[in-house]
C-alpha cells in the first residue's frame, strides 16, 4: 500500500518525457484503495478515541450505578443526581486537554483555520468546566442544577474533542495518501 519512487542512474528506464523518476505502486495500492484504507484508519482512530477516552472515563460512574441497582436498601437517585456525582466536569476538562494537545501537534504540521476554531472552542469549554467544577463538591449544591450543567459541559466537550480528533485523523490520513 505504499508508493515507491525509483530514479534511474543512467539512460535506461527513463520515461519518454525525460522524467527520471518513475512511480511504482505496490500491487493493489491504487489511489482508490489508499483512500479506502485511509478512511478506515480515520474511523478506527475515532472509535479508539471514543472507547478509551469517553467510555473508559465513564466506567466508574456506570459501575457505581449498576452496583447500586443490585444492592438492597441503596438510595434511589434521580438521573440528575447521578450526573451531579459523576465527576463530569473533570472528565470534560481531560477530554478537552487531550484534544487541544492533539490539535496543537497537528497545527505544527499544517495550519487549519477550522482546527484553530475548534481548539479555541475546546479551550472555552475547559475554562467553563474549571470554573463550575468546584460546585460539584459543595455540600449545599442543588444536585439537579449541577447535574444538568455538568452533563451539558460533558456533552459539549465530547462533541468538541470528538470533532477535533476526527479533523486531526482526517488531516493525518490526507497527508499519508498524498505521500
Give the per-residue pLDDT at 3: 41
Nearest-angstrom CA–CA distance, 80 and 66:
16
Domain edges within the chain:
30-178
- The answer to whether the beta carbons of residues 49 and 160 sit under 8 Å apart is no
- pLDDT tens digits, one per residue of 64-115: 888 877 887 777 778 888 888 888 899 999 999 999 999 999 999 888 899 9
Nearest-angstrom CA–CA distance, 69 and 155:
25
- pLDDT tens digits, one per residue of 109-156: 888 899 999 999 999 999 999 998 887 777 888 888 888 999 999 999
Nearest-angstrom CA–CA distance, 105 and 55:
24
Nearest-angstrom CA–CA distance, 108 and 86:
35
Cell of 81: 443526581
The three-state secondary structure class of 117 is: helix
Give the per-residue pLDDT at 28: 53
Does 161 score more than 80 pLDDT? yes
Give the per-residue pLDDT at 22: 40
- pLDDT tens digits, one per residue of 10-56: 444 444 444 444 433 344 567 788 888 888 888 898 888 888 888 88
Amino acid at each position: 500500500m505504499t508508493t515507491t519512487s525509483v530514479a534511474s542512474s543512467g539512460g535506461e528506464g527513463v520515461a519518454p518525457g525525460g522524467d527520471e523518476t518513475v512511480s511504482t505502486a505496490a500491487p493493489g495500492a491504487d489511489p482508490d484503495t489508499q483512500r479506502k484504507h485511509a478512511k478506515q484508519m480515520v474511523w478506527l482512530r475515532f472509535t479508539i478515541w471514543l472507547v478509551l477516552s469517553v467510555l473508559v472515563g465513564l466506567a466508574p460512574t456506570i459501575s457505581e450505578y449498576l452496583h447500586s441497582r443490585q444492592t438492597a436498601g441503596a438510595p434511589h437517585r434521580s438521573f440528575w443526581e447521578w450526573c451531579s456525582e459523576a465527576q463530569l466536569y473533570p472528565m470534560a476538562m481531560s477530554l478537552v486537554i487531550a484534544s487541544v494537545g492533539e490539535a496543537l501537534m497537528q497545527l505544527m504540521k499544517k495550519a487549519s483555520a477550522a482546527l484553530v476554531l475548534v481548539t479555541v472552542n475546546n479551550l472555552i469549554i475547559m475554562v467553563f468546566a474549571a470554573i463550575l467544577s468546584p460546585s460539584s463538591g459543595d455540600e449545599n449544591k442543588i444536585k439537579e442544577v449541577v447535574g444538568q450543567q455538568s452533563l451539558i459541559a460533558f456533552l459539549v466537550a465530547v462533541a468538541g474533542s470528538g470533532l477535533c480528533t476526527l479533523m486531526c485523523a482526517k488531516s493525518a490520513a490526507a497527508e499519508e495518501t498524498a505521500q
